[in-house]
Chains A and B, each alone.
Chain A
Amino acid sequence: MGELNMPLLSIAQLSLSYENHVVLNQVNLELHNGEVVAVLGSNGAGKSSLLKCILGLADTSANIQGDVRIADSSVFHQPHLARAHLAYVPEQPAVYGHLSAIENIRYFLSLDNNPERAEISDCLSQAGLPERAWHDPCQTYSKGMKQKVMLALALAKQAKLLLLDEPNSGLDPQATEELNQLILQCKSSGMGVLVVTHDVLSAMAFSDRLTMLASGRLQPVSIAQSSLTLDNLKRLYQGQA
């Protein structure tokens, strides 16, 4: 019963500051299995810092308080245990151009000492990468295709929590739509997904909850599709919604 209710990701009273600058101020967030949460925020709002804290890679010169737990393991105190449940997809798809999709996935899984829990080809199919491209060097791929490789890696790793940093940036509408569908697939497979994004429309399409990071604080937001006007979005990003 306890395990069922236990959040997959739990951020409690997380504050991060430099000498004269507060980046995150008592941030709280819980994310459960099969849930997609989007974190919105303007440039410089602290979205990347929040992601770095979740990854346990916050700048060591910063003053950090609070805790981040993934599947009940503290990122700060048991980073290896916590990261074992995590798959992270950076804004720029991080694949080696000289390796093929299959080689990239196999390499990253081996680096992480991860056994191939799922068939890589299944994961690539699931991620929607055309089979004819599987053995081509990734330097010939589009950004959308590289995103799919990263997502296939997350699927192959069978991570419980998927962190996506600006997944839609630089994608055309078709690729954005495909990616949104993939995120929903992950959700339906029971994965928890945290997406940091600027793209409110996409976030509304795949998220169960929207949150806004403004002035160092993370607050839930609720927007109706019908009220999505430019002025409303500006107000939202200024934390006035």
Chain B
Amino acid sequence: MKSSPVMLMMYNEWRRLWHARIPVLLLLVLIVLWAISAIAAHHHWQDHARTVTQVTERSLHDWESQPDRHPHRVSHYGDFVARPIHPLSVIEPGILDQSGHLVYLEGHRLNSANFNPATEATSAGRFPIITPAMIVQWWMPLFLIMIGYATITGEKIGGTLAFMRGNGMPAWKIATGKWLALFIPLAILLLAQALLVLFWIWGSEQALVRLSTMLLGQSLYIAGWCLLVVAISWSNQQLHSGLLALLLCWVCVCIIFPRGLANVSQIMHPTQPRTEAEYHAEIKLKAIGDSHNPDDPHFATFKSNLLKAHGVDRIEDLPLNYNGLLMQEGERLTTVVYREQQALHEQQLAKQNATIRQWLWLSPALALQYLQMASSGSDLTHHLAFIRQAEDRRYRLIQYLNQIHTHQVQRHDDKNTRVSADFWKKAPRPTISLAALDVSQTAIITSIAVLLAWILLPLLLLSRIMHRT
């Protein structure tokens, strides 16, 4: 069967690379690096998964083993919830290591993990862990540059480009052949990774759509890099100038812009440290109402309204335990204030992310990272969805306990009363589930748009310079 000139060009480039030896060695090193990262990431993921399972089981066991006791003690005994992790996060653990995967739920507290996502969401903060996602995002382009920087410049220096052009070979066929020669081996690696992962994630939530989104992003990203290598190689007359230009692009796209964007967004929209946020919450709480202060106006009104509603003059005459009602109202107020603080925190994070998204076109590497984190359910949006579910669970649980306090505990014997352990077993502890991929829709669409533009840019450059021999 007769091969097309484009395919012949591709085969010949492979033969050249094979003959040169070093590119083959580089490809092998990349594969070894990828294998190491896959093993390390799998080990890391297993650790997470094991901890999540152990803690969840232990927490359920401990919760249900509680003896007859006072409901308020139960509310401070607390409950652990584990953040559900998608098996695809074996490729990209995202902010999991920064945000943690366990939250302790107790009365009057909002124990969401305090972290700084805009900074942590960028790669530079994650040097210690090599993940398969990082291989695609950083190392694959770097190795590609080292393998392919001479792809056209070498032909120019050897005179074969001028010869082929002079003998009627269209420039676009040469560029396509060279691009395919660089892209296909890497695409095979990406596809192999996707197939292996498919077995791993089979049966998990939105497995196919999440994996396809990730593979699409990775393919666009690497296709863009291959085009850039061909374009810059074509635009340079000397090997070292092409190599330097490509390395400069890599440093900007993979290191400087992601880190710079994170820092700028953090400076523009700073988040409060946890202690500071708690301090502000305490001040707000004192201003709204202090249940321990007998002269507090809010609780004075609360008490008088309650007495009026039940047609009595003293709390001792109430048919319910006033302490339990006080706990309910206190919890309601505390939750309002802490949720406000959490909303402010999330608002700042959203602003940081919006700033980064606005400048995302500067760094397709960051766009890919957003896409990989979103696909694997390990981005900020998925984390916040988990925090909201956990907080909802906490509030429902604590208010359930406060209800028991109100109805099952007599006020005159409040401190000595023990309530049956059966009540803890019936407590609402809704399952926390992984948010659907839709929660990260904005990040996904923006990232794909950036990655498409990333393909167009070197294409435009190539179309401008291709006529030069």
Q: How far is the CA of A39 from the CA of B165 in the complex (A)?
A: 22
Within 8 A of A (CB), among B432-469: 467-469
Q: How far is the CB of B169 from chain A (nearest CB, A)?
A: 6
Say whether A88 contacts B166, CB under 8 Å.
Answer: yes
Within 8 A of A (CB), among B154-192: 158-160, 162-169
Residues of B within 8 A of A14 (CB): none
Say whether A110 contacts B8, CB under 8 Å.
Answer: yes
Say whether B164 contacts A111, CB under 8 Å.
Answer: yes
Say yes or no for A205: interface residue by CB 8 A criterion: no
Say whether A112 contacts B159, CB under 8 Å.
Answer: no
Q: How far is the CA of A163 from the CA of B168 in the complex (A)?
A: 13
Q: How far is the CB of A105 from chain B (nearest CB, A)?
A: 12
- CB-defined interface of A15-41 with B at 8 Å, one 1/0 digit per residue? 000000000000000000000000000
- CB-defined interface of B2-17 with A at 8 Å, one 1/0 digit per residue? 1101001100100110
Q: How far is the CA of A112 from the CA of B169 in the complex (A)?
A: 7
Q: How far is the CB of A237 from chain B (nearest CB, A)?
A: 25
- CB-defined interface of A64-105 with B at 8 Å, one 1/0 digit per residue? 000000000000000110011011111111111111000000
Chain A interface: which size bin? 20 to 34
Q: How far is the CB of B412 from chain A (nearest CB, A)?
A: 96
Say yes or no for A174: interface residue by CB 8 A criterion: no
Say whether B158 contacts A111, CB under 8 Å.
Answer: no
Given contacts A98-B16, A107-B8, A110-B8, A92 and B159 within 8 Å (CB-CB): yes
Q: How far is the CA of A94 from the CA of B156 in the complex (A)?
A: 9
Residues of B within 8 A of A97 (CB): 19, 158
Say yes or no for A228: interface residue by CB 8 A criterion: no
**Residue from A60, A96, A99, A111 in contact with B169 in the complex, judged by beta carbons closer than 8 Å:** A111
Say whether B9 contacts A111, CB under 8 Å.
Answer: yes
Q: How far is the CA of A91 from the CA of B9 in the complex (A)?
A: 23
Residues of A within 8 A of B15 (CB): 98-99
Given contacts A57-B165, A107-B12, A96 and B3 within 8 Å (CB-CB): no
Say yes or no for A8: interface residue by CB 8 A criterion: no
Residues of A within 8 A of B468 (CB): 59
Q: How far is the CA of A88 from the CA of B2 in the complex (A)?
A: 24
Residues of A within 8 A of B2 (CB): 110
Chain B interface: which size bin? 20 to 34
User: Nearest A residue to B11 by beta-carbon distance?
Assistant: A107
Q: How far is the CA of A207 from the CA of B19 in the complex (A)?
A: 41
Residues of A within 8 A of B158 (CB): 92, 94-97
Residues of A within 8 A of B16 (CB): 96, 98
The tally of CB-CB contacts under 8 A between chains A and B is: 73
Given contacts A60-B467, A94-B160, A94-B162, A83 and B19 within 8 Å (CB-CB): no
Residues of B within 8 A of A225 (CB): none
Q: How far is the CB of B16 from chain A (nearest CB, A)?
A: 5
Q: How far is the CB of A25 from chain B (nearest CB, A)?
A: 23
Residues of B within 8 A of A83 (CB): 167-168
Given contacts A83-B168, A84-B168, A99-B15, A110 and B163 within 8 Å (CB-CB): no
Say whether A57 contacts B469, CB under 8 Å.
Answer: yes
Q: How far is the CA of A150 from the CA of B162 in the complex (A)?
A: 13
Say whether B5 contacts A88, CB under 8 Å.
Answer: no
Residues of A within 8 A of B19 (CB): 97-98, 137
Q: How far is the CA of A26 from the CA of B438 in the complex (A)?
A: 67
Most chain-A CB neighbours within 10 Å: which of B19, B159, B163, B168?
Answer: B168
Say whether B163 contacts A90, CB under 8 Å.
Answer: yes
Residues of A within 8 A of B166 (CB): 55, 57, 86, 88, 90, 163
Q: How far is the CB of A104 from chain B (nearest CB, A)?
A: 9
Say whether B160 contacts A113, CB under 8 Å.
Answer: no
Q: How far is the CA of A99 from the CA of B159 in the complex (A)?
A: 15
- CB-defined interface of A141-154 with B at 8 Å, one 1/0 digit per residue? 00000000010000
User: Nearest A residue to B157 by beta-carbon distance?
Assistant: A92
**Residue from A79, A80, A88, A98 in contact with B163 in the complex, judged by beta carbons closer than 8 Å:** A88
Q: How far is the CA of A88 from the CA of B165 in the complex (A)?
A: 10
Given contacts A57-B165, A57-B166, A88-B166, A110 and B3 within 8 Å (CB-CB): yes
Say whether A55 contacts B169, CB under 8 Å.
Answer: no
Most chain-A CB neighbours within 10 Å: which of B2, B20, B165?
Answer: B165
14 A–B contacts from the bound complex (CB under 8 Å): A57-B467, A86-B168, A88-B166, A90-B159, A91-B159, A92-B158, A92-B159, A94-B159, A97-B19, A98-B16, A99-B12, A107-B8, A111-B167, A112-B168
Which 10 residue pairs across A and B have the least CB separation, nearest first? A94-B163, A83-B168, A98-B19, A94-B159, A88-B166, A92-B159, A94-B160, A55-B166, A111-B5, A90-B159
Given contacts A88-B166, A150-B163, 19 further A-B pairs with CB under 8 A are: A55-B165, A57-B165, A57-B166, A57-B467, A80-B168, A86-B166, A86-B168, A88-B163, A88-B167, A89-B163, A90-B166, A94-B159, A94-B160, A98-B15, A98-B16, A107-B12, A110-B2, A111-B8, A163-B166
